[in-house]
Structure 1
């Protein structure tokens, strides 16, 4: 988020400094799966789905722009996403989702078991059917993070490493930040610190409003990709990469800021992966990791102006941080520059929780 916003602000002519306590994108951005699936993951119609769909529509041009700026191909792939059902209740949920999404003009295909296996022969023969979201895609999130960092630097953003103690306020306005005792002055301060956003003094975010949700992940290695679609079930997902890697995830755990990988978590993820695609049972486990996603109770991000003039917030993206990167960068840049945001940010205000 920080690098994307810095890129857009710098392109608009602003002087920008990105502050990072370690390596940009080393937390949730690098730990994610890179799924761009507003339809598959939607909880229903509304402003959040509209925001996610808008961001998805920006991705082809966004990926091409990053390639032109940095030479990095972020592996944006129009792979499509399937949600598999293994019982009648699961099928009923897929049919209900397909009904309301089709009413909104979104593309959804309901597939029989034979139709699924014709497309993906190595999937489980136990499945009862699937919904195919042909417009949901994927990107390699680690390549995306690297490309965004390079792109922001290439257009002239400055990067500094250090611990931000808090927002500096003068006469009721944010005028900079305290960077390890040094006051770094600025006309605008953007907090895009993920799960740590509420710990930044002066952000006015209660730490309970944005809190860490741990997600564990496993990477398997196959010689050839065993399937081409991103696969979901009610228990998790598996993501095929073109080089034969398969990313499997994920857990949802509220364990504070602990990023441990646990035996139980790995057991659940691997059992899910093998149920969806039994051929993965023989795939070597190449890597395991955990990340902390910035969680809000209503699952909506916090975007736009903060509690003080000159302070702006971009956090709480939970499971959709990679998907929402291009639209967040665009909207925050517009807001910081005093322009009218191209999307109504009222549903994503920071103070919506206190109003409740």
Structure 2
């Protein structure tokens, strides 16, 4: 029986492990450089926004929309398996315009998306205020995307970890993989920072922003650089429920949680592996939140944090078999869509490994696209 080793215990690695287990794979081990689910997946806002963030109706949009459709079944099964409600809410996201320039772009967006058969409705200012009375009186108009929503990503991570541990899947924490040892175009083992070797029949790199730090036979992987892109966020807390929907603007977003937290995000910063929360970031996010809802000025910031999103050179995921090594798979580069894309990524990777199913997405997002010549 083959042993599968997954490097990375974020939302992608955990979801792939679960999918492999449900496909009948018996021997699975996960290795995490720090703590399970405490990097980008933990720092995320949990938005499921394939339509509100669509700039064109292309293959990547299709990938995102298809994963979004998998979410209801995905979280329902996880609830049955673990008893954890991950607060999946598919009640729509409202896109807001506050300036004349916002309004012009919003109308253009509505026009092309309607023609492209994307589900979207135009809302006048009074209609927005009726469904979200705490939105700023400066709002001019908006769009509602009824198929978008959110999930409480931290609870989802906890649920996935509970399922995997209860299924007997070992998760090695505080174990950093620095090198892959290959012979005859096949991985034999992975090597830790301490020089220890762990053997496996199949290796999956779900290592997020740290993927490019892992070497193959002590040489760089012939792969697009996966860059860390910092995203800072803040949260307020209130006993009164302010919002029913995720609220989105051209400058940021507000995500209401069931426990009274109101998340505001997010910065996009190319600063390497620096997870520092800055005064500039907090001020920017405060302005984002206050533009959407001046009522937030009455609340104190209760939490500040940052995460590092993994971005490839073309901004698209990197999925599938590594072109130079028979038993090495990669699932990274999800950038700002790791939570959204977890179900479909897990599905296509697990089906390829267990059934040799070649999804169109493995072709579209293959690491082979970065090979020269």
Task: Please state how far the C-alpha of 1:186 moved relative to its aligned partner.
Answer: 1.4
- Measured at CA, do residues 83 and 27 of structure 1 come closer, stay the same or move farther in structure 2, by a change above 3 Å? same
Task: Please state how far the C-alpha of 1:168 moved relative to its aligned partner.
Answer: 1.6
Question: Aligned to 1:175, which of 188, 193, 208?
Answer: 188
SS at match of 1:287: strand
Maintained 8 Å contact 1:11/1:155: no
For 2:124 and 2:20, the matched residues in 1 are separated by 48
Task: Please state how far the C-alpha of 1:344 moved relative to its aligned partner.
Answer: 3.2
For 2:101 and 2:284, the matched residues in 1 are separated by 21
For 1:11 and 1:181, the matched residues in 2 are separated by 33
Task: Please state how far the C-alpha of 1:208 moved relative to its aligned partner.
Answer: 6.4
Q: Does 1:71 align with 2:87?
A: no
For 1:89 and 1:225, the matched residues in 2 are separated by 30
String of CA shifts for 1:267-316, please: whole Å, max 9, x gaps.
Answer: 00001101100110011211100100001232211011113110000000
* TM-score, reference length from structure 1: 0.96
Question: Aligned to 1:194, which of 193, 208, 218?
Answer: 208
SS at match of 1:270: helix
Question: Aligned to 1:286, which of 288, 298, 302?
Answer: 302
For 2:46 and 2:250, the matched residues in 1 are separated by 18
Q: Any unmatched runs of 5+ in structure 1?
A: none
Question: Aligned to 1:46, which of 40, 58, 66?
Answer: 58
Query: Which stretch shifts more, 291-300 or 193-202?
Result: 291-300
For 2:230 and 2:340, the matched residues in 1 are separated by 18
String of CA shifts for 1:251-276, please: whole Å, max 9, x gaps.
Answer: 01111101000000000000110110
String of CA shifts for 1:118-147, please: whole Å, max 9, x gaps.
Answer: 111111111111111111010001011111
For 1:355 and 1:236, the matched residues in 2 are separated by 37
Count of residue correspondences: 356
For 1:250 and 1:290, the matched residues in 2 are separated by 9
Stretches of 4+ aligned residues off by more than 3 angstroms: 203-208, 341-344, 353-356
- Measured at CA, do residues 75 and 26 of structure 1 come closer, stay the same or move farther in structure 2, by a change above 3 Å? same
Superposed, 1:1-356 pairs within 5 Å as 1-14=12-25, 15-161=27-173, 162-179=175-192, 180-202=194-216, 205=221, 209-307=225-323, 308-355=325-372
User: RMSD in angstroms over aligned alpha carbons?
Assistant: 1.7
SS at match of 1:228: coil
String of CA shifts for 1:298-335, please: whole Å, max 9, x gaps.
Answer: 22110111131100000000000000011111111112
For 2:272 and 2:222, the matched residues in 1 are separated by 15
For 2:223 and 2:252, the matched residues in 1 are separated by 27
String of CA shifts for 1:22-79, please: whole Å, max 9, x gaps.
Answer: 2111100000000000001112111111110111001111111111111111110123
For 2:203 and 2:340, the matched residues in 1 are separated by 23
* TM-score, reference length from structure 2: 0.91
Q: Any unmatched runs of 5+ in structure 2?
A: 1-11
Maintained 8 Å contact 2:224/2:370: no
Maintained 8 Å contact 1:69/1:154: no
